[in-house]
Structure 1
Amino acid sequence: MALSGLSNQTGAAVAALAFPVLGPLGVVAVRQYVAALALFAVVRPRLRAFTWRQWWPVLLLGGVFGTMNLSLYSAVDRIGLGLAVTLEFLGPLAIALAASRRRLDAGCAVLAGAGVVVLMRPRPSADYTGMGLALIAAGCWASYILLNRLVGRRVPGAQGAAAASAVSAVAFLPVGIAVALRHPPTPGALLGAMAAGVLSSAVPYLTDLLTLRHVPPRAFGLFMSVNPVLAAVVGWVILGQGLGGVEWAGIGAVVTANAVSIATTPR
């Protein structure tokens, strides 16, 4: 679980290093290609056997997957890795709290909301466009969870996820060509974008599959709540994006709300 979280956030930080050359759009395009190739090599989905009932949620999942990565990386470029991932984390937190009727979960929602208010408080240096992009990523992550459940019920194994990654890669193909023609990539930038695809897609996917064979889903979800903290630390170490006490308090509120909600959920 630690490897999965660190790999994911390190991949995002490495991707940010390629932004000056490729921009978030070019980096996401390369990441989608690498993720699709990696998943296809491992899963080998039988696309010709898919019915329309299976294809339409896969197509939606592919669109959400690409939009989520693009909006997140664009947010990272503007507001930093730690804040972007924290705001994006509101997506799965909202899914966890939406169906609950417990007073404790209502309190967790209030705590998370307070953390968001702290992170988005008005100040001269606030980048509301970047924050808005991170919230779009949060909405996409929530949609990704719901669509993944639907695809998982209709498509055997991990074939749906592999097919969705291929759909996203095909959609980004003309974008990648246009970016390459306009801003020819340097070997270092291209390597960074490819590393982001491996570290943020292939490695977490495979390690999560192995982890969930040995760790209960509830414990896995509880550990997932530390991702905003990992993102803040990785952003500081690799990108030099330091955070103040107020930002850490906001991140802590969102993380605590998620952890308390999962830890107290009845079995």
Structure 2
Amino acid sequence: MTTRTDASPRLGGGVALVVGSCFSLQFGAAIATHLFPLLGAWGVTSLRMLMGAAILLIAVRPRMLGWSWPQWRAVILFGAALAGMNGFFYASIDRIPLGAAVAVEFLGPLVLAAVLSRRAVDYAMVGVALAGMCILGLESFLTADSLDPLGVLFALIAGAFWAGYVLSSAHVGQAVPGTGGLAAAMGVATVMVLPIGASSAVQAFADWRILLLAAVTGLLASVIPYTLELAALRKLPRNVFSILLSLEPAIAALAGWLLLSQTTGLLRWVAIALVIVASVGITASSSRPRKPRDAGAAGQEPPVVELGTGVLPVIEPEDGEESVLGIRTGALPVVRSEEDDAGDAGTPRR
């Protein structure tokens, strides 16, 4: 039996891993903005997607030739969600501060979570988040530091693709075993963004310093956060994991202030705080047990898809198989252990 003393260091270590992941992800995005004047937002996106796809395809080597059309259709939709989510997010932070972009983007999974849960409290939390967006608009109107409307639109589009990513990642996890679907989807996403960003992305290969900065961006915004999150999921309950991810808009604002000299006024902090409250509220609501709909099911509850801002559908694997769990800009396999099933079966974020 795990004692309270044993659990405390485990929980504390998990918290540190998630917070470290958030800092790495947002500071990586902040560094990426320094490449925008040289490569453009879509050029940087193309480089990131290309690197990620190459690593995954080499590591996983999916057997794509034997896939059926329904499997390919799921993979293509997943790839489209990945491409749109990444590309439009980078396009948004090219025009508006990082913290504001992340706060606006959070609306996508928040609305999806409320729609799928159909709980009054979740709709109320979406209302809280929308109030935060109204405050952002008010701040933009009242101050000289106004938000670019096109940048806000790009962040909203990225949020919509994030919601689509949540749904399509679950579909791919059901249709394609293992991590082959993710690897192929990353390849599809790369093919989709390259026509937009390839002409500027190739300039990175002419200067090793630009290429090095692009590699650092990919490391901070992809490899490190994914690794830390997967380690954290072995230590934290799912609801704790998701609540910690809800701090991401604040961390993004901090990264923008430290690395990009982006100031965040009082009204903008209030707006970000409201989005965080909404995210925590929906996550806490989704973690509560539900009553089974079928009273004759011998006490068994029907499968429920839990969606918070950091909670994605879990596709239960067959014995010995891996389950593919979504992470913000990709997804990596997590093999469930007996320890996970005992209480910390979490899922990474978008």
TM-score, normalised on structure 2? 0.71
Note if 1:99 corresponds to 2:116: yes
Match of 2:156 among 112, 132, 135: 135
Moved more, 38-47 or 123-132: 38-47
Task: Report if aligned partners of 2:122, 2:285 keep a CA contact under 8 Å in 1.
Answer: no
Deviation of 1:120 (Å): 2.2
Match of 2:221 among 193, 200, 204: 200
Deviation of 1:199 (Å): 2.2
Deviation of 1:175 (Å): 4.1
Moved more, 155-164 or 80-89: 155-164
Partner residue, 2:233: 212
Partner Cα distance (1:209, 1:48) in 2: 30
Note if 1:221 corresponds to 2:242: yes
Note if 1:246 corresponds to 2:267: yes
**Identity rate, percent:** 39
Letter in 1 for 2:71: Q
Deviation of 1:210 (Å): 3.1
User: Aligned residue pairs: how many?
Assistant: 267
Note if 1:20 corresponds to 2:41: no
Q: 1:181 to 1:29 in 2, by over 3 A?
A: closer
Q: 1:218 to 1:81 in 2, by over 3 A?
A: same
Partner residue, 1:190: 211
Task: Report if aligned partners of 1:64, 1:140 keep a CA contact under 8 Å in 2.
Answer: yes
More helix by percentage: 1
Note if 1:170 corresponds to 2:187: no
Q: 1:64 to 1:86 in 2, by over 3 A?
A: same
Letter in 2 for 1:89: F
Task: Report if aligned partners of 2:53, 2:187 keep a CA contact under 8 Å in 1.
Answer: yes
Partner residue, 1:73: 90
| Per-residue deviation, residues 167-206 of structure 1 (Å, max 9, x unmatched) | 1123334444422567985433332223222322233333
Moved more, 121-130 or 177-186: 177-186
| Per-residue deviation, residues 38-80 of structure 1 (Å, max 9, x unmatched) | 3234433222232211111111111221111111111101111
Match of 1:88 among 83, 97, 105: 105
Partner residue, 2:178: 157
Moved more, 59-68 or 132-141: 59-68
Moved more, 171-180 or 239-248: 171-180
Task: Report if aligned partners of 1:28, 1:193 keep a CA contact under 8 Å in 2.
Answer: no
Partner residue, 1:6: 23
Partner Cα distance (2:92, 2:205) in 1: 23
Partner Cα distance (1:30, 1:263) in 2: 37
Flag the structure with more relative contact order, 1 or 2, with Cα contacts below 8 A and sequence separation at least 6: 1
Deviation of 1:213 (Å): 3.2
Partner Cα distance (1:112, 1:2) in 2: 22
Partner Cα distance (2:170, 2:202) in 1: 38
Partner Cα distance (1:185, 1:62) in 2: 28
Partner Cα distance (1:171, 1:195) in 2: 23
Task: Report if aligned partners of 1:90, 1:138 keep a CA contact under 8 Å in 2.
Answer: yes
Note if 1:237 corresponds to 2:254: no
Moved more, 226-235 or 176-185: 176-185
Partner Cα distance (2:242, 2:200) in 1: 37
Could you say which structure has the larger radius of gyration?
Answer: 2
Partner Cα distance (2:222, 2:43) in 1: 16
Partner Cα distance (1:120, 1:197) in 2: 32
Q: 1:206 to 1:174 in 2, by over 3 A?
A: same
Deviation of 1:253 (Å): 0.2
CA RMSD between the two structures: 2.1
